[in-house]
Structures are given as structure tokens and as C-alpha cells.
Amino acid sequence: MAALNTLSYVFIGIGLFFNFVGAFGLHRFPDVYTRMHATTKCTTFGSIFLILAVIVQSAGIWAMGGDLRQSIMCIHSILALVALLVTNATGAHAMARAAHRSGEKPARAVVDDLEGKKND
């Protein structure tokens, strides 16, 4: 159990670090696209580790004590992880697309292939 706790703490630490980097990037980057880079990648990765900590804890208790209620926690966390992976990337794509259609220019951009393309 002590090993499981340590593993959970390590996962929580990594997760908090990357979520912090994501939040920090949101303030530091110049425009909506670069900010989206920070928030999608870092918060997804950070949240994966936070959920992994939950999975480790609940799976450990489930395997040792056989408490069925812990299995609910474990399986639901895994499903939440899958949903997070799919929806976070898709949501970021939708927001970036909407930003470009409403005329938001990428700051400091070298090239913009999408510029001037007619909306369908």
C-alpha cells in the first residue's frame, strides 16, 4: 500500500506541474492559437496523470480488498480519460477554427496559408 501511495503522489505531482505549465502559458503566449497550444497539450497530459493516480489507488484497493465499489471508481476514471482525450483535442480544433473564421490573425506569423481562403 505504501508503494501505491508513493506512486499516486508522483503521478499527482507530475499532473499538477503540467497543469500549472498550461495555465502559465495561457498568460504568457501572445495570441489565441499559441495559447491553445499550451492549454490543450499541457492540461490533457496533466489530467491524464491526475486520473492515473485515481486509477492506481482504486485498482489497488479493488485488487487487495475486493471492494466492488472501488471497481466503479476505477472503470469510470478510465472512461473519463478516454472522453478527455477525444473531446479536448476536438474542442481545441473547433475553437481555433472559429477564431480564424472570425478574423483573428495569428500573432507574429511567418506564413498563413489559410488567409484569404473563402469560407464554405
Partner 1 sequence: MKFIVTAAVGYSVYLLLTIGSGDAGLWSREELIVGAVFAVLAGALLRNRFIGKDLRMLNPKRWFTFLVYLFPFFFAMAKANIDVAYRVITGRINPAIVKINPNLKNDMSLTLLANSITLTPGTLSVDVDQKTNELYVHWINVDPEVLKDMPRDYHPICGSFPDWAKRIAG
Residues near partner 1, by CB under 8 A: 18, 21-22, 24-25, 28-30, 33-34, 36-38, 40-42, 44-45, 68-72, 75-76, 79, 85-86, 88-90, 92-93, 96-97, 100, 106-115, 120
Rounded-to-integer distance, Cα 49 and Cα 51, Å? 5
**Under DSSP, is residue 43 helix (H, G, I), strand (E, B) or coil?**
helix
By beta-carbon proximity to partner 1, the closer residue of 8 and 18 is 18
26 burial via Cβ count (<10 Å: 0-12, 13-18, 19+):
middle
- Minimum Å gap between C-beta 15 and partner 1 is 11
